[in-house]
Structure 1
């Protein structure tokens, strides 16, 4: 299944929160993304159904192998694009973050690979 932009954002958020806090619950995601608990709950149900996450009995959310791979890919695109926009185009940190968040979902693998090569060579 092709994951929608919102699903990718949720996976990226779960990964970042996991790295920061060690564990993640729906309320953490809702707070971080400024979404309602109901919206997060619906999204978690979809991500669970599609085998991107597991929900433990105590409410902790765990990325599956598939979910972790997808979350890492999205986070890598986000970080690299943010850096590219700041360092190569002189865009402010705030604008680079916002734009990278939008671009990361639509950029082609070919273009991303090109940007990656450019940054590694600079």
Structure 2
């Protein structure tokens, strides 16, 4: 398995969200969702396939592997958590969404779990 960068996590997260909304996901769906070009998605998909994070079936549907699903679910959990936290703190929703996207990639899993646990206790 290859090292995953923030952009790869964003693609996996998009595939997870789209799969939950639509049931099936194609590259064009990801391009529209993320606002990127089809060639960008093609490059990302190939990189993620090579890394073992997703597969493309014979109908060209994108499917997360177990490790891809794990990464995407953790990334999405962080994204939702930080978006809610920022909105609750009074940040405009659009800004909160953008900031949460950066925060989800920068924080370690250990730090995230400690913040999440600490806030539950209060």
Task: Give the TM-score normalised by the residue count of structure 1.
Answer: 0.93
Alignment match, 1:95:
95
Deviations 1:22-66 (A, max 9, x none): 000000001111111111001000000111001001110000000
* 1:115 CA displacement: 2.2
Question: Mean Cα displacement is larger for which, 102-111 or 47-56?
Answer: 102-111
Alignment match, 2:31:
30
Specify every segment of 5 or more residues in structure 2 that has no aligned partner in the other structure, as ranges: none
* 1:120 CA displacement: 2.1
Whole-Å Cα distance in 2 between the matches of residues 42 and 110 of structure 1? 31
Specify every segment of 5 or more residues in structure 1 that has no aligned partner in the other structure, as ranges: none
Deviations 1:91-119 (A, max 9, x none): 12111111000111011233312321233
Whole-Å Cα distance in 1 between the matches of residues 60 and 119 of structure 2? 39
Whole-Å Cα distance in 1 between the matches of residues 46 and 97 of structure 2? 28
* 1:74 CA displacement: 0.2
Whole-Å Cα distance in 2 between the matches of residues 114 and 91 of structure 1? 22
Residues matched between the structures, number: 121
1:35-50 correspondence to structure 2 within 5 Å: 35-50=36-51
Partner SS for 1:59: coil
Cα RMSD, aligned residues only: 1.2
Alignment match, 2:111:
111
Following superposition, which runs of at least 4 residues in structure 1 exceed 6 angstroms of deviation?
A: none
Partner SS for 2:55: strand
Task: Give the TM-score normalised by the residue count of structure 2.
Answer: 0.93
Partner SS for 1:86: helix
